[in-house]
Amino acid sequence: MTEQRWPDGPLRREDPEVASLLAEERARQRRTLQLIASENFASPAVLEATGSVLTNKYAEGYPGRRYYGGNAVVDRVEEVARARARRLFGADWANVQPHSGSNANAAALLALAKPGDTVLALRLDQGGHLTHGSPVNFSGRLFRFVHYGLTPAGDGGERIDLDAVADLARRERPAVVIAGATAYPRVIDPAPFAAIAEEVGARFLFDAAHVAGLVVGGIHPNPVPYADVVTFTTHKTLRGPRGGGVVGRAGLGEAIDRAVFPGLQGGPLEHVVAAKAVAFGEALRPDFSGYAAQVVANARALAGALAEEGLRLVSGGTDTHLVLVDLRSFDPDLDGRVAQTALERAGIVANRNAIPADPRPPFVTSGLRFGSAAETTAGMGEEEMGAIGGLIARALRAREDGRALDALAGEVGQLCEKFPPPGAGRG
Ligand code: DSN
């Protein structure tokens, strides 16, 4: 099998130092739980395309309009990727070249607004992304961001405050309204955002970085019929190679293409574009909707188990792959940084995350963010997710007891052994 070839292949012979680091990482991915909400396990086919000869090729431009010769095959590869992306999202056009979700957002903002224009987006400390106006990011430096937040905590609370979105939009008259988040566990309905953007004459950008796989799996509403532009990443719930993309309705495709190249990027990573095509092909198969549904069922099972252990769920639960917990309900002295470190020693990989109205600074935080996409790919179901909730709580309780955490890592390793990730046999 292809997977077996890699540990003893050319890399092992030519560069044992890097080969052994890759082997270490492969082992880490096999024996620990991958619960970072923005990660997944790409298939062996996706990994093979990513490691292909297309890495050798320069292809600035687009199919049929390249600045270099020798692109007949690359053109066909990129055309396959674009066509599959259009089909997946029901879009009129697609750009599959952005190297990341951040680049996709940069291209969208450059195409939809001028530097200095006002842009409306979700606050970063309430779930928004770096590219939604962080002062240290290009977005916050080039555009004038105004932020909406979540409704107050409480029954049915910590949801996107659509009244605030509408009020701010009427007052600030933004050029662009952004919907989408990086740490928000609920569905984001594109329809009310579209209505607000239309009322104030703004463009509507939906950032589907996290939920793209749920959208194409039919679990999350598809923003394409509502938004002017939809950006996404290919490596999170969509389960492809690391990268980004942009899709939309007719009209803005040329402006987005120009913003990606030559506006923002040089030569596209055509080996990654090929891998995107493979991942889109996988997502077009009927079984992908079953995967997407299981991702959400698993996140709910994990959320339920964590709540039973006394961890408050931000917004009371989840509709997606993502769970955000407030550690203060579990132990007011426990912060996100300490919790993340203890979990990692126990073989549970997740990230600390700010929660709404977090009293602690962003590098410390009072929350943890979990995601179910990767371990669902590995074959885990609700039963395992419930058990993982218990393991998390035990690790947090034992956070100062190194031996107990090491013992837990053994238990975690045994669980992971039963669910090897696809592709984890490769470098
Ligand atoms: N940092 C990614 C995430 O974890 O959500 C988004 O860029």
Q: Are residues 342 and 251 in the same domain?
A: no
Q: For residue 322, what is the enclosing H or E element?
A: strand 322-326
The string of pLDDT tens digits covering residues 87-134 is 999 999 999 999 999 999 999 999 999 999 999 999 999 999 999 999
| pLDDT score of 426 | 43
Residues 6 or more apart in contact with residue 173 via CB below 8 angstroms:
118, 200, 201, 202
Query: 155 an active-site residue?
Result: no
- The whole-model pTM stands at 0.96
What is the CATH number for 389? 3.90.1150.10
The number of domains in the chain is: 2
- Whether residue 42 lies inside any domain: the answer is no
DSSP states of 176-237? EEEE--SS--S---HHHHHHHHHHHT-EEEEE-TTTHHHHHTTSS--STTT-SEEEEESSST
**Nearest protein CA to atom 6 of ligand 1, as residue:** 182
**Nearest protein CA to atom 2 of ligand 1, as residue:** 38
* Helix axes of 382-397 and 287-308: crossing angle, nearest 10 degrees: 30
- Whether residue 39 lies inside any domain: the answer is no
How far is the centre of ligand 1, averaged over its atoms, from the C-alpha of 336 (Å)? Answer: 16
How far is the centre of ligand 1, averaged over its atoms, from the C-alpha of 182 (Å)? Answer: 6
Q: Are residues 322 and 376 in the same domain?
A: yes
How far is the centre of ligand 1, averaged over its atoms, from the C-alpha of 183 (Å)? Answer: 8
Query: 13 an active-site residue?
Result: no
Supply angle C-alpha 149, 327, 307, rounded to 5. 95
Of the residues 32, 131, 233, 320, which is catalytic? Answer: 233
Query: 207 an active-site residue?
Result: yes
| pLDDT score of 9 | 81
Of the residues 3, 12, 30, 58, which is catalytic? Answer: 58
For ligand 1, pick from 124, 129, 237, 324 the residue to mutate: most ligand atoms within 8 Å of CB. Answer: 129
Q: Are residues 110 and 202 in the same domain?
A: yes
- Whether residue 372 lies inside any domain: the answer is yes
Q: What are phi and psi of 31, to 5 degrees?
A: -110, 5
Of the residues 3, 12, 30, 60, which is catalytic? Answer: 60
From first CA to last CA, the distance across the chain in angstroms is 14
- Whether residue 122 lies inside any domain: the answer is yes
Q: Are residues 264 and 310 in the same domain?
A: no
Q: Are residues 87 and 209 in the same domain?
A: yes
Q: Is 79 helix (H, G, I), strand (E, B) or coil?
A: helix
Q: Which atom of ligand 1 is nearest to the CA of 100?
A: 7
Query: 417 an active-site residue?
Result: no
Counting every residue, how long is the chain?
A: 427
What is the CATH number for 208? 3.40.640.10
How far is the centre of ligand 1, averaged over its atoms, from the C-alpha of 370 (Å)? Answer: 12
Q: Are residues 316 and 383 in the same domain?
A: yes
Q: Are residues 277 and 314 in the same domain?
A: no
Q: Are residues 244 and 356 in the same domain?
A: no
Which residues of the chain have a pLDDT value below 70? 1-8, 424-427
Residue 111, domain extent: 53-283
Q: Are residues 136 and 234 in the same domain?
A: yes
- Whether residue 93 lies inside any domain: the answer is yes
Question: Is the shortest distance between the CB of 182 and ligand 1 below 6 Å?
Answer: yes
| pLDDT score of 423 | 74
Q: Are residues 225 and 313 in the same domain?
A: no
For ligand 1, pick from 40, 126, 182 the residue to mutate: most ligand atoms within 8 Å of CB. Answer: 182
Question: Is the shortest distance between the CB of 38 and ligand 1 below 6 Å?
Answer: yes
How far is the centre of ligand 1, averaged over its atoms, from the C-alpha of 273 (Å)? Answer: 20
| pLDDT score of 7 | 57
Of the residues 161, 207, 319, 335, which is catalytic? Answer: 207
How far is the centre of ligand 1, averaged over its atoms, from the C-alpha of 389 (Å)? Answer: 22
- Whether residue 300 lies inside any domain: the answer is yes
Question: Is the shortest distance between the CB of 101 and ligand 1 below 6 Å?
Answer: yes
Question: Is the shortest distance between the CB of 97 and ligand 1 below 6 Å?
Answer: no
Q: Are residues 272 and 304 in the same domain?
A: no
Domain boundary among 283, 315, 335: 283
Q: Which atom of ligand 1 is nearest to the CA of 209?
A: 6
Give the torsion through C-alpha atoms of 341, 342, 344, 349, to 10 deg: -90
How far is the centre of ligand 1, averaged over its atoms, from the C-alpha of 324 (Å)? Answer: 14
Q: Are residues 277 and 294 in the same domain?
A: no
Domain boundary among 234, 261, 283: 283
Q: Which atom of ligand 1 is nearest to the CA of 102?
A: 7
- Whether residue 375 lies inside any domain: the answer is yes
Q: Which atom of ligand 1 is nearest to the CA of 182?
A: 5
**Nearest protein CA to atom 3 of ligand 1, as residue:** 38
- Whether residue 204 lies inside any domain: the answer is yes
Domain boundary among 254, 283, 312: 283
